[in-house]
Structure 1
Amino acid sequence: MLPRGSQDRPATIATPARPASPGHRRALAAHARQENKVIRRLPIVAVVLGVAGLLPFLGCTIGILLFPGEVPVPRLVMALIDYGAVILAFLGGVHWGFALEPAPGLVEPTRPSTDRKRLALGVIPSLIGWAALLIPLVSSPLVAVALLVVGFAVTTMVEQQAQRRGAVPAAYMALRWVLTAVVLICLMTVLLDRIF
C-alpha cells in the first residue's frame, strides 16, 4: 500500500550515493532540462500574483519621487525596505519548497548535496533581508536599499545557475527575471533619487 498522498507526487530519478562522474552529471542535467520542457508555463494565477507583488515596490518608489524631501519620504523608504526584506525571504522560501517537494521533472532534488544548497539558498536571502531591516537602526536607510539591490541581484543570478543545471524550472526563472528587473529598477531609482 502506498503512503497517503504518494500517488500525487511525481516520480523522481534515483541518483547514485557516490559522487557522479562529470559525464554522468552532464547527462543528468541534460535529462533535467529535457524534463523541464514539461514545465513550460506557470499557472496564470502565479503570474498575476507575481505582478501584483510589484505594486508595493512601484507605489513606494512613485511616492518617494513625488514627495522629494517631504515628511512621508523616510516612512516610504522604510516601507520599501520592509517589503523588500519580506519578498527576499519569500524568494528563499521557494527553494525550501523545491528541496522538500521537488517539482515534476526535476532530477537534482534527489541528491543530498543539491538539497543542502537549496536549503542554504532558502535561508541566505532572508538573512540579507533581516540585515537590511537592521541597517537603518545604525546607518542610513540607503545602505539598506543598496543591500537589497545586491540581495535580489545575487539571488536571481544563483537561481539562474541552478536553472542552467536543470534544478529550477525555466518558466519560474522567466517570471523571476521580469519581476526582479522591475524590483531592481525601483530600488535603484530610489537609491539614485536619494543620493542626488
Structure 2
Amino acid sequence: MSDRLASGKIPASALVLGLAGLIPFVAGAASQWAKLPMLAPDTGLRLAILYGAIILSFLGGIRWGTAIGPYDTGRQSTEFSASVLGSLAGLAAAFLPSIPALALLIAGFLMQGLWDVMSVDAGRLPQWFGRLRMILTAGAVISLVATLLAVLAT
C-alpha cells in the first residue's frame, strides 16, 4: 500500500472532483433561495432531485465494485444486493413529488455515507475514503435539506 493511502490522505483528484460534484447540489439549492440568472427555481429543483438520483446510483456502483473483493459468497451477495438500493431509491425519487423525493434522497445519502464510513472502520475501504465520503455527504445533504426547506416554505 502506498504511503499516501496508508496515511489516509485523500488523493487530490478525488477531492477536487468530489467537491466539483457538489456544484449541482449547491446550484439547485441556491436557485430555491435566490434569483439566479441561468437557473429558474423549477429547473433548479429538478436538477437537485435528478442529480441526487444519479449520484446515489453512482455511489451504489462504487460499492458494487468493492463487493468484488475477496469475500465469501454470502458476504458478496449481501454487498451486491445492498449496493443496488441507492439506484432504486434514486429511481423512485425521480418519479416522486418534490417533498418525498428530497426526503428519500436525504435519507439515501445519509445511509450510504454511514455504510461507507462503517466499511472504512471495518477495514474494507481506505481511511481517506471515509473522510471524503463524510465531506461529500455533508455537502449533498445540506444542499438537499436547504432545497427541501425552500420547497416547504412555498
Is 2:73 the counterpart of 1:92?
A: no
Residue 51 of structure 1, aligned match among 1, 10, 19? 19
Contact preservation (8 Å) 1:57, 1:80: yes
State the 1:119 CA deviation.
1.1
Greater percentage in helix: 2
Following the alignment from structure 2 to structure 1, what is the Cα–Cα distance between the partners of residues 9 and 76? 24
Q: Which runs of 5+ in 2 are unaligned?
A: none
Following the alignment from structure 1 to structure 2, what is the Cα–Cα distance between the partners of residues 180 and 76? 19
Is 2:144 the counterpart of 1:194?
A: no
1:115 aligned residue: 76
Structure showing greater radius of gyration is 1
- Secondary structure of the structure 1 residue equivalent to 2:84: helix
Number of residues paired by the alignment? 148
Letter in 2 for 1:173: G
2:93 aligned residue: 132
Following the alignment from structure 2 to structure 1, what is the Cα–Cα distance between the partners of residues 148 and 40? 16
Following the alignment from structure 1 to structure 2, what is the Cα–Cα distance between the partners of residues 114 and 67? 49
Following the alignment from structure 2 to structure 1, what is the Cα–Cα distance between the partners of residues 7 and 92? 35
Compared with structure 1, are the counterparts of its residues 45 and 53 closer, same or farther at alpha carbon in structure 2 (3 Å cutoff)? same
Residue 32 of structure 2, aligned match among 59, 64, 69? 64
Q: Which runs of 5+ in 1 are unaligned?
A: 1-9, 11-36, 103-108
Q: What aligned pairs does 1:1-196 form with structure 2 within 5 A after superposition?
A: 38=6, 40-67=8-35, 72-100=40-68, 102=69, 109-135=70-96, 140-196=97-153
State the 1:52 CA deviation.
0.7
- Secondary structure of the structure 2 residue equivalent to 1:110: coil
Farther off after superposition, 72-81 or 126-135: 72-81
Letter in 1 for 2:75: T
TM-score normalized by the length of structure 1: 0.69
1:21 aligned residue: none
Sequence identity percentage:
32
Following the alignment from structure 2 to structure 1, what is the Cα–Cα distance between the partners of residues 18 and 82? 20
Compared with structure 1, are the counterparts of its residues 39 and 89 closer, same or farther at alpha carbon in structure 2 (3 Å cutoff)? farther
